[in-house]
Chain A
Amino acid sequence: MSLKQFLQRLLLALPTLFGVSLVVFFLMRVVPGDPIAMMTPPGATEADVAQLRALYGLDKPIITQYVIWLGALFQGDLGTSISLRQDVFSLILERMPATLELAFLSTMIAIALCLILSLAGAYFRDRIIPRAVDAIASTAQAVPDFLWGLIFILLLGVAWPLFPISGRINPRLDHDLVSQFYLFESLIKLDFSLALELLRHLLLPAIALALPMTGIVTRLLKVSLEETWKQDYITMARARGFSRWYILRKEALRNALIPTVTLGGVQLTFLLGGTVLIEKLFSYPGIGNMAIGAVIQRDLPLIQGLILTFAVMFIVINLLIDLSYSWLNPRMRHG
């Protein structure tokens, strides 16, 4: 993909972003009920309410509100959270790394599991292993992530307490991490005991998130591998005496990867969306957990900011998937 193509893709994302902002804004304004009245504590007077209303700009016409909101948005100003009384942008920025680390680890686990399962399913020709792979994949896909989370908490948190089931880090630990990317920073600093401690907290929610994606992608990848297996050039490779394992890994996998990445990209956005419930379940301090709190508190600026953040992440993922095609497919790269 040339630079020009890349810029075109980038430009195409802009109207989407604009549309997203429009939807987010108006969705929050058509809510029945009065957001400010919901925020006011018992004992507030009419004057307090009016003051709050003016503070959040809710006393102006709706179009004006949107323009003001959008203008502020461009300056990175998402408003002030009503329940947390802090700048929404910095709140999200502070919490986003936790979610990104969880999503990253979860994706890595999903990729690893997909590869192991689908390669095993395509490699072995007996009746048991491919069927077992199908069964595992179907179950992994059919059980929604929050049910996986519940099962893990019960099994590995309570019945056989191997893992911590809440939080991100043991609160007793003193650490001198400067960034919010605890895991990455501890790895860079080669502080492996801290990294391990972080990973123990991350593992259960990450696997719970990874499983549905693993199921769906494994099924596709396995079918694609089997399909490629029947292609002419593979038959030729087999004729030339390459081992089954070698062909699967070197040839079939590469070919099967493009449809897999397309599906994987969509699934990745689902995975990110899934952090909302999983973080709540595991009391993990990321933006998903924050989002549920914001909905319960009817904290409009925070909900808006969070939905927008998720949307931007989704758009970026889609952009990256687009870009990865040319990387995966050399013909596209050269052509």
Chain B
Amino acid sequence: MADATAHYPSPWRDAGLVTGSLIVISFFAIAILAHWISPHDPLEQDLISNLLPPFWVDQHDPAFLLGTDSLGRDLLSRVIHGARIALTVAVLAAGFAAVLGTVMGLIAGFYGGWIDSFISRLVDIWMSFPAVLLSIVLVAVLGTGLHSVVIAIGIIDWTRFCRVIRAETKVQREQDYVAAGRALGLTGPAIILKEILPNLLPVLMTLFCLEMGIAVVVEAILSFVGLSLSSDAPTWGGLIEEGRQYVHEAWWVMLIPMLCILTLVIALNACGEGIRRVYDPVMHK
């Protein structure tokens, strides 16, 4: 792998990738440091001082930069902690989908034969379901909560990984080094893990970034229909839904989380495509 990297152009020269990763990294930083940088506890309520305006309106309270929501909670702190939830869902759900999809894809692509047909058929079946409806049904069935959202997204979106990984594995399997590995007496799983998987990492990373973006949006959709995390967790989707009720008096309550989602999703897409541009040899022929 170390040798192979030398042939790739430097990732630092890809503007999209650099900007995208900087944005994503700063979101991660905000998420990790949420506890220290948010000015208030996102759950701390004060009904008496609810619906305070943000800093650009005259009668604002300097303690609440973006104002407060209907329960008197600090909006800025909720948006910051919302990043934490969005990224947790994104990483876990994309991770779950990636592990499930990659394992299935590797098995199908490497072994071929009946197991390949079986997995391919499974993918076909899965792709025949409307994703939004299925995720709504799944969360309705599993009950609300972080685990349900993660499971629902993973169970639905593993096919995205499986299809690509399967195709790539089929290509890799025919390469010389795999034959060499066989000649050296390596077993199937060993070849998959040691030889094939490392070569698929760029593709996997691309898919992972894109899937994180999808997970952020799906979480917002689920919150929007009232089926996401329970309790008073500050999710961006929940904030949008909440802000919708006050959109005429306090449009920023809806707009700020919407912009957060958009920025994060666009940045994740830019990362994914940047990785593809830099590491995918096909694009550079």
Contacts and interface: CB of A to CB of B under 8 A. Distances in A.
A269 B132 contact: no
A314 B240 CA distance: 31
Contacts of B136: 276, 292, 295
Given A16-B121, A19-B125, A143-B262, A307 B221 contact: no
Contacts of A157: none
Interface residues of A, number: 39
B137 A16 contact: no
B247 A154 contact: yes
A147 interface: yes
A160 to B, nearest CB: 14
Contact of A306 (B122, B124, B133, B141): B133
Interface string B125-153: 10111111110111011110000000000
B258 interface: yes
B122 A19 contact: yes
Chain B interface size band reads 20 to 34
Contact of A314 (B121, B127, B137, B265): B127
Contacts of A144: 217, 220-221
A117 B137 CA distance: 36
Contacts of B129: 20, 23, 307, 310-311, 314
Nearest to B125: A19
A92 to B, nearest CB: 13
Contacts of A277: 132, 221, 224-225
A272 B130 contact: yes
Interface in A286-335: 288, 291-292, 295-296, 298, 303, 306-307, 310-311, 314-315
A329 B121 CA distance: 26
Contacts of A143: 262
A141 B266 CA distance: 9
B137 A307 contact: yes
Interface of A: 15-16, 19-20, 23, 27, 30-32, 138, 141-144, 146-147, 150, 154, 269-270, 272-274, 276-277, 280, 288, 291-292, 295-296, 298, 303, 306-307, 310-311, 314-315
